[in-house]
Amino acid sequence: MQSIDRITPDDLPAFARGCGVLGTGGGGSVDSGLLAAAHALAEYGDVPVVPLDRIAADGLVLPLSGIGAPTVSHEMPMSGEEPVLIAAEVERIFGRPVSAVMASEIGGSNGVGAVAWAARLGLPLVDADGMGRAFPEVQMVSQNVAGLPVNLIVLADVQGNLTTLRPVDGPWSEAIARAVTVACGGSALMADYVLTGAELRGAVVEGSVSSALRIGRTVAESGEPVKALVELLQATTLLTGKVVDVERRTGGGFVRGSLILDGTGADRGRMLRVEIQNENLVAFEDGRVRACVPDLITVVDVETADAVSTESLRYGQRVTVLSWPCDPLWRTPRGLEIAGPRAFGYDLDYTPVEHLR
């Protein structure tokens, strides 16, 4: 498929919509990321997008993501200088310049934010990310699946505080980075898995920036957005119906809950339950699994195909629940160990969505 070579201010709304769809219900609201990206592009110019194979084998790639509480980032947006601090620290450690920025998480606000961070640094954005979707925890990234070491984590906050971590493994990176973020006031920018072009090949989800933009454009330009989206993603339509119940509870710092849908139209008489932990994790129908992590499950508006985040789910919404295959990397034994159903506490074996009917 055709890839794109740059992101301009005109591309941002479609790109943000695509990031919303890839957010699988989580990843944070794309709205504030969109404002920051619009400001950064206006100040620093368009962002070139380059495929991973155009990055030199020894070229340094800086994967970035925001970490913290959505309520905090909604009230206290970033300073905008965080990427500069992180890049300078990374360049000091490695002794050479950073070649490109990458989104650690294409889904939700971190996908849109990456455009702002790349623009601020005047660097290209790699057409790839570490998830191909959104996940709630730091260690749930493709680089970890590929067995690459969490060699280094660098965090910068709104004040200019810079914290460099050398964690022993993925779970420790999550625990320590989270604690630092709290000390930073609940919001920070983070670089993890700073690696070379050669190391990242085969260890990231390629084409995800193009994919997000293509999703957004397809949805924006089609007269039948949901149908066009299903065709584009080769998605399985789990159910079209109405939201009849949304239950939320917080535990361990995350919002957990479930969503019940009642089928309408051709799906009348059927019901679907979607289990949520920030993102949509598992969809059940009559006790059977219809789709589960790491495959993507996204709830979209039945008219506009705009993604409906787990926070904005409400009784009565008319939605279609779609699921489509994750990157093959997530379907490896290690991928499933890190982000399969059991990694989220569900006692069930993973079956690819295309085999579930």
Partner 1 sequence: MTPTTPTTTTPTTTTPSATILRADVPARTAPGARDLRVGIDVGGTNTDAVVLTADGRVVARTKQPTSADVTTGLRSALTAVLDSLGEHAGRVGRVMLGTTHATNAILERRGLGRVAAIRLGGPATTSVPPLQSWPGDLAAALSAGSVVLPGGHYVDGRPISALDEDRLRAFLDTVAGQVDAVALTGVFSPAFTDHELAAAELVRKHLGDAVQVSMSHEVGSLGLLERENATVLNAALYQVIATVRDGLQQTLAARDLDAATYFAQNDGTLMTMDYAADYPVLTIGSGPSNSIRGAACLSGLDDAIVADVGGTSTDFGVLVSGFPRESAAGVEIGGVRTNFRMPDILALAVGGGTVVGPDGQVGPQSVGYRISREAFVFGGATATLTDAGVLAGRGTGLSAERIPGRAHARLRQALADAEAMLADAVDRITLGKADRPLVVVGGGAFLIPDDLPGVSEVVRPDHGDVANAVGAAIAMVSGTVETIIPAGHGRAETIAAAEEAACHRAIQAGGAPSGVEVVEINEVPLSYLNEPALRLRVKAAGPLGDL
Which positions lie near partner 1, rule CB under 8 A? 32, 35-36, 38-40, 68-72, 74-81, 116, 158-160, 178-179, 182, 185-186, 244, 250, 253-255, 278, 312, 314-316
Beta strand residue intervals within 121-235, DSSP E: 125-129, 153-156, 162-165, 187-192, 195-196, 205-206
Cβ contacts of 296 within 8 Å, gap of 6 or more:
22, 24, 132, 133, 323, 324, 325, 326
| Distance in angstroms (rounded) separating the CA atoms of residues 215 and 37 | 19
| Shortest Å, Cβ 211 to partner 1 | 25
Q: What share of the chain is helix, strand, coil (3-state, %, to 5)?
A: 35, 30, 35
Strand 125-129 vs strand 47-50: parallel, antiparallel, or unpaired?
parallel
The smaller minimum CB distance to partner 1, of residues 38 and 61, is found at 38
| Shortest Å, Cβ 216 to partner 1 | 18
| Shortest Å, Cβ 274 to partner 1 | 18
Cβ contacts of 315 within 8 Å, gap of 6 or more:
243, 244, 245, 246
The smaller minimum CB distance to partner 1, of residues 187 and 236, is found at 187
The smaller minimum CB distance to partner 1, of residues 78 and 204, is found at 78
| Distance in angstroms (rounded) separating the CA atoms of residues 109 and 187 | 13
| Distance in angstroms (rounded) separating the CA atoms of residues 346 and 277 | 11
Amino acid in position 274: V
Instruction: Give the CB-side neighbour count of residue 94, counting CA atoms within 13 A.
Output: 22
| Shortest Å, Cβ 120 to partner 1 | 8
The SS3 assignment for 339 reads helix
| Shortest Å, Cβ 136 to partner 1 | 9
Spatial CA neighbour of 242 closest among 319, 314, 182, 183: 319
Beta bridge partners of 307: 300
| Shortest Å, Cβ 31 to partner 1 | 8
Spatial CA neighbour of 24 closest among 347, 330, 268: 330
| Shortest Å, Cβ 160 to partner 1 | 7
The smaller minimum CB distance to partner 1, of residues 208 and 309, is found at 309
| Shortest Å, Cβ 316 to partner 1 | 4
| Shortest Å, Cβ 183 to partner 1 | 10
CA triplet 177, 181, 186: central angle to 5 degrees?
Answer: 150
DSSP code at position 332: S
Pairs from 282-285 (Cβ < 8 Å, separation ≥ 24)? 282/341, 282/344, 282/346, 282/348, 283/238, 283/321, 283/323, 285/238, 285/239
The smaller minimum CB distance to partner 1, of residues 245 and 337, is found at 245
Residue 12 neighbours by CB distance under 10 Å: 22
| Shortest Å, Cβ 17 to partner 1 | 17
The smaller minimum CB distance to partner 1, of residues 76 and 271, is found at 76
